[in-house]
Amino acid sequence: MSLPLVILGTGGSVHDVLDIVEAVNQRTPTWEVVGYLDDARPAGSRHLDLEVLGPLHVAERFYGHAFVNAIGSDSTFRRLPEILQSTGLAPDEFTTLIHPAASVSSRAQLGRGVTVNYGVSVGGGAKIGNNVILCPGCIVGHDATIEDYSILAPRTVISGHVHVGRGCYIGARAVIRQRIRIGAGSLVGMGAVVIRETDAGSIVVGNPARPLLRVNPLSLTSLSETGK
């Protein structure tokens, strides 16, 4: 019997989530997507042939359902912890979705609510936190760590032993050199090549990547460990 699944958000990541569900179900019927929770669309409206069930704060009405996050962009990523915590959902109510065409080492550790898209590779010893989005084609090298609420855009390369802090956004086709630490709440621009560590809240761009600016530390409160 298929398990009921509720998608949080109706942004572009919804397409990836639906693609994963479709690919999984083609092999073994597993999920039945019952609809979305979203603050930007009215309850009862439809998006991609599925119903908007209500705003995010009514998530607890769907007790017994599994949830997956489809909220995440370079403009909202720093608010993602706050947004998901506002739903009142516990970590174990989020499900991890892995596309059959992804490669995840049996020695990697994945948290709850992770979406692993088509063509993703996760190496042995890698640790992926809760509610992380791995977009199509990105590579997470061996022994790398991706902390909670981070988003890796398509075709990013995270080399071995890299540590990506909580709530980061790594832009499309960016490359992070091995053993580099990316501070919490950082944004790495598309195509950037990062060869030095970044402070929390940094925005870095270019090849080699250089700081563009740094956000006010007060805006990173929800990304601290105490903000979990």
Sheet holding 31-37, edge to edge: 46-47, 50-54, 31-37, 3-8, 66-69
In one letter, which amino acid is 146? I
Question: What gap in Å lies between CA 89 and CA 214, rounded to an integer?
Answer: 31
| Ramachandran angles phi, psi of 203, nearest 5° | -120, 120
User: Residues 28, 30, 31, CA angle at the centre, nearest 5°?
Assistant: 140
Buried b / exposed e along 185-201 (16+ C-beta atoms within 10 A): bbbbbebbbbeeebbbb
Residues 126 and 116: beta-carbon distance below 8 Å:
no
In one letter, which amino acid is 156? T
Which residues belong to the active site?
142
